[in-house]
Amino acid sequence: MSGVPSEAYRIPRRIGFFGGSFNPPHIAHVLAVHYALLRWQFDFVAVVPTFHHPFDKELVDFAHRLRMTRIAFELLGDNVHVLSVEQELPHPSYTWQTMQHLRQCYPESELALLIGSDILEELPRWHNAESLQREFPIYVIPRIGQNIPPGAFGLLPALSSSQVRELLRKGEDVSGLVPARVLGYIREYELYTNSHE
């Protein structure tokens, strides 16, 4: 699945699952995963781009989003595994389904769901939400002004990919919002322009 020898999947680990459209990946995504690694000491975080969004959101091609996501997280090294697994699973892509699959891949490991505090209100609408919350620990990453969990404070910017896309379509500067090499990729392939909507 990620080039790791098959026997390595049976080494017990604490794995965080961080899914999303990554359309495009931005600074807040990277900060969220870095925060999770520091705060909860996962052995690694599995970052999983959505192949087909369950709420039918329009996305640029999966191959572009996968490549941009790998570029975005490359500085975190082996602490992050960007997986293309949802490309092979039934569509649409459900977090419940993907986590069940990963649990089979890593049978000796503890798998936990990482979500931003801005997603909490949306969580009950997810496919098999009750089973998801019952079977997997959920770790909430605090974002400024968004349902801050007790004992935490608003740490990460309340930035969304839709905001980044809108700025790109307007031709505005997003260099402080998107990793530099991701922005270079967007410009090279002319993504998120009016002609690609």
Residue 19 lies in a domain: yes
- Report d(CA 14, CA 61) in Å as an integer: 31
User: In terms of Cα–Cα distance, which of 95, 93, 16 is closest to 62?
Assistant: 93
Per-residue pLDDT, 150: 62
Residue 80 lies in a domain: yes
Per-residue pLDDT, 21: 94
Q: How many domains does the chain have?
A: 1
DSSP state of 7: G
CATH code of the domain in which 143 resides: 3.40.50.620
Range of the domain at 168: 11-196
The residue written with tokens 């999983």 in the block is 48
Residue 117 lies in a domain: yes
Q: pTM, whole model, 2 decimals?
A: 0.89
Q: Are 42 and 14 in contact (CB under 8 A)?
A: yes
Residue 89 lies in a domain: yes
The pair of structure tokens assigned to 194 is 């009016």
pLDDT tens track for 181-190? 999 999 999 9
Residue 6 lies in a domain: no
Low-confidence stretches of the chain (pLDDT < 50) are 1-3, 5, 195-197
Residue 3 lies in a domain: no
Residue 1 lies in a domain: no
- First CA to last CA distance, the chain: 32
Give the number of C-alpha atoms closer than 13 A to the C-alpha of residue 51, restricted to the C-beta side.
15
Residue 83 lies in a domain: yes
User: What length does the chain have?
Assistant: 197
